[in-house]
Amino acid sequence: MVQIYHPKWEMAAKSLPLISFILIAKAIAHHYGWEFFSLNTLFAALISANIFLIGFNLSAVLTDFKEGQKLPAKLASSIEAVADECLYVCKSKGAEEGKKGFLYCLVFTEQILEWLYRERKTKSIMEKIAGFTDIFIPLEKYSQPSSVSRLKHGQSEIRKAILRIHFIREVRFAGSAYVAAEIISYLVITAMIFLNVGTYWENLFFTVFVSFIMIYMMILMRDLDDPFAYYDQKHSIEEISLYPLHHLKNRLKESATRLVN
């Protein structure tokens, strides 16, 4: 069966209500002869300037988005490295402390996923990261100094990834830049409704085309500003994949089952 609707069109679909309203408003303006604006170089420059401003905002949020795409994999890699060290101590030395550390990594991974869906506070996750220290101390007598160093490095990398995700999720890009882009966009779209660029169909096409670009870009810009908005399934479209963390949780669960049995 052919899939007609694909999630990649969802953002375009969100802009359709506004585009439909603009289309109707343009048709009414043409019917009653309200197209009293004429196209000139100043109006074209205004459109170009607004597209530049939107592009500037978009490039800023894309930087965080591209960095955010790497964080789940880095986080999963650091947790798994700590879990492997604990598992090594458990299997090679038969130490219960190693088993305890491995299970701690499993619970921690589950709690991170809960945190990403805003079911836990950042404070509790930071306390859980600090709790790794209590796990590492008993392992020192079974491990080489280099092994303990790797464990502490893994803890540090986990903390950095969590803090970076927290920053991207909580801190928004300059709100005044968003406001400027949105105000200019809506003013340009309003002017396009009363702009005469030629025939009736030319007027409709250029009004809808320019309006769609601006509205779509503003929706995309707002959505990319928080790529970790898994808790907001109704409004968020572009999200960073959590596959590395989910896959890690499943692997740790399988290893924990064999370890317990």
Q: Measured between alpha carbons, how far is residue 34 from residues 186, 201, 210 in Å?
A: 18, 16, 19
Same domain, 154 and 99: yes
Residues 95 and 162 in one domain: yes
Asked if 247 and 132 sit in the same domain, the reply is yes
Whether residues 151 and 256 fall in one domain: yes
Residue 35: predicted pLDDT: 86
The predicted pLDDT at position 3 comes to 47
Query: Do residues 78 and 157 share a domain?
Result: yes
Q: What is the mean pLDDT of the chain?
A: 86
Instruction: State whether 147 and 111 are in the same domain.
Output: yes
Q: Say what the pLDDT of residue 232 is.
A: 64
Based on the fold, state whether residues 126 and 247 are members of the same structural domain: yes
**Model pLDDT for residues 201-234, shown as the tens digit of each residue:** 888 899 999 999 999 888 888 888 778 877 665 5
Task: Give average pLDDT by consecutive 10-residue segment, the chain, 261 residues.
Answer: 55 86 91 85 86 84 86 95 91 86 94 92 94 91 83 94 90 74 89 88 90 89 80 66 93 87 67
Instruction: Assess whether 140 and 252 both reside in one domain.
Output: yes
Q: Answer whether residue 233 is part of any domain.
A: no
- Same domain assignment for residues 133 and 250: yes
197 and 119 in one domain? no
The answer to whether residues 183 and 208 touch, using CB atoms and an 8 Å cutoff, is no
Find the domain containing 111 and state its range. 70-171+242-260
180 and 253 together in one domain: no
CB 178 within 8 A of CB 57: yes
**What pTM does this model have?**
0.80
Do 127 and 210 fall within a single domain? no
